Amino acid sequence: MARFMIPRDIYYGRGSLAQLRKLEGRRALIVGDGMSRESGFMQRAEGYLQGAGLNVRSFICARGGPTLTQAQTGARAMQEFKPDWIVAVGSEGSVSAAKAMWIFYESPATTPDALAHNGTLPKLRGLARLTAAPTGGGGEGALGGAAFLLDPAQGKRRLLLDPVLAPDIAIVDPDLAAVSPGPVLARGGMAALSQVLEALSRGAGSFAQPLALRAARDILAQLEAAVAGDVRARETLHEAQCMAGLVFANAPMGLCQALAANTCAAFYKPLPTGIAESIFLPRALRWESGAKEMAAQVYTAAGLAGDPLPALCARLETLRGQTGLPASFQAFGIEEAEFLSKLPALSEQVSQDPIFSKTGRRPAPKETENLLRGAYYGS
């Protein structure tokens, strides 16, 4: 039996953040980031919530998150304030941080080791419910039962997947994405593409497949224009990223996700996930056994012509360059000596990633090492 996890309600379209005026409760904690505060969206959310009669406080996530320490700090703020609504307004990282804070708030005894991929999380909603309003720039796994958490001390990037993490209310307001910097949108668009293309390669189910195809079509068509500032393209991209987030929480993951997650943990802070995924994606798709069928589906949906898989990989590489993303980790600025020193352990770690436990084919460490070398040198 399969399951498809979605928020209870999704409000979308310009101005939909105003739906916060209709929340019923006593106290709301807004979790945001520097960008959502500087753009005024956190303040706007605060005004809507106060207009609904709620007492409101805010928590600003520091850059470089969401980290385990940040989540535990936010949970302590929640335990002091006792909100019955958690309202995440910000990047995918901020929404992930809010979800992790929520876990520790409702279940203070939860240990970091319990936050494992495909682990069982504690029951939530005894103390608070969650509203998520992503601002763009990520795969927007924010809308599904997914979150990620960085643990720099352990060199880990913990992926949390559980139906309890799906928001009660999701708000997809393109106004929130309209002010995102182009490089942020470029990284987020490529991250979303990696999610849907790998899901299709690994057998996305009946409900996830249409969303994945629509998201892939729209991102391929609109990402370059969105990065350049086209308002309509940004609206389309924002909705496509949110569709990709729903796919991510409900479909198999693949090699690109494993490579990117472990590489970003190994090179914490300097390496954004979207950049890692944009570098790995064409290489990973050439390795995935289901990629040929996936590419044919995507090309049919997008109305494109040519030998689908080679043409799609070439299109991804072209799009990466057109949106200003680096073609290799060396070009990004990771030092060769540091890369080579971490390569053996990283190759083994990727090969043993739990992502592969339920998705069939697993790469051998030597295959992983070759993929990592190619991604570093751009070969």
Res 137: pLDDT = 64
Instruction: Give the mean model confidence (pLDDT) for residues 188-201.
Output: 93
Res 359: pLDDT = 63
Collect all residues with Cβ–Cβ distance below 8 Å to 232 and sequence separation of at least 6: none
Tokens of 198: 């790998």
Collect all residues with Cβ–Cβ distance below 8 Å to 358 and sequence separation of at least 6: 118, 252
Instruction: Give the mean model confidence (pLDDT) for residues 52-56.
Output: 97
Nearest to 238 by CA among 44, 91, 22: 91
Average pLDDT, the chain: 90
pLDDT at 118 over 70: no
For 188-220, give one letter per residue: b (16+ CB within 10 A) or e.
bbbbbbbbbbbbbbbebeeebbebbbbbbbbbb
Architecture of domain 9-177: 3-Layer(aba) Sandwich (3.40)
Instruction: Give the mean model confidence (pLDDT) for residues 120-134.
Output: 92
Res 50: pLDDT = 97
Collect all residues with Cβ–Cβ distance below 8 Å to 347 and sequence separation of at least 6: 365, 366, 368, 369, 372
Q: Which whole-number Å values give the CA distances from 225 to 180, 187, 281, in the listed order? A: 13, 14, 21
Separation between Cα atoms, residue 46 and residue 303, nearest integer Å: 44
Separation between Cα atoms, residue 376 and residue 336, nearest integer Å: 8
pLDDT digits (tens, 9 = 90+) for 15-32: 999 999 999 999 999 999
Separation between Cα atoms, residue 179 and residue 136, nearest integer Å: 9
| Region of poorest pLDDT, from 107-111, 167-171, 234-238 | 107-111
pLDDT digits (tens, 9 = 90+) for 171-183: 999 998 888 889 9
Instruction: Give the mean model confidence (pLDDT) for residues 231-253.
Output: 90
Residue of 226 and 143 predicted with greater confidence: 226
Q: Is 64 left (phi over 0), alpha (psi -120 to 50) or beta?
A: left
| Region of poorest pLDDT, from 132-146, 280-294, 305-319, 340-354 | 132-146
pLDDT digits (tens, 9 = 90+) for 291-343: 999 999 998 887 777 789 999 999 999 999 999 999 999 999 999 999 999 99
- Per-residue pLDDT band for 104 (boundaries 50, 70, 90) equals very high
CB 258 within 8 A of CB 288: no
182-377 under CATH 1.20.1090.10, yes or no: yes
Q: Which residue has the tokens 């593409």?
A: 193
- Per-residue pLDDT band for 360 (boundaries 50, 70, 90) equals low
Question: CATH 3.40.50.1970 in the chain, residues?
Answer: 9-177
Distance of alpha carbon 275 from the chain centroid: 12
Residue 333 CB-density burial (10 A; 0-12 exposed, 13-18 middle, 19+ buried): exposed
Question: CATH 1.20.1090.10 in the chain, residues?
Answer: 182-377
Helix (H, G, I), strand (E, B) or coil at 47: helix
Res 320: pLDDT = 96
- Per-residue pLDDT band for 151 (boundaries 50, 70, 90) equals confident
For 285-308, give one letter per residue: b (16+ CB within 10 A) or e.
bebbebbbebbebbbebbebeeeb
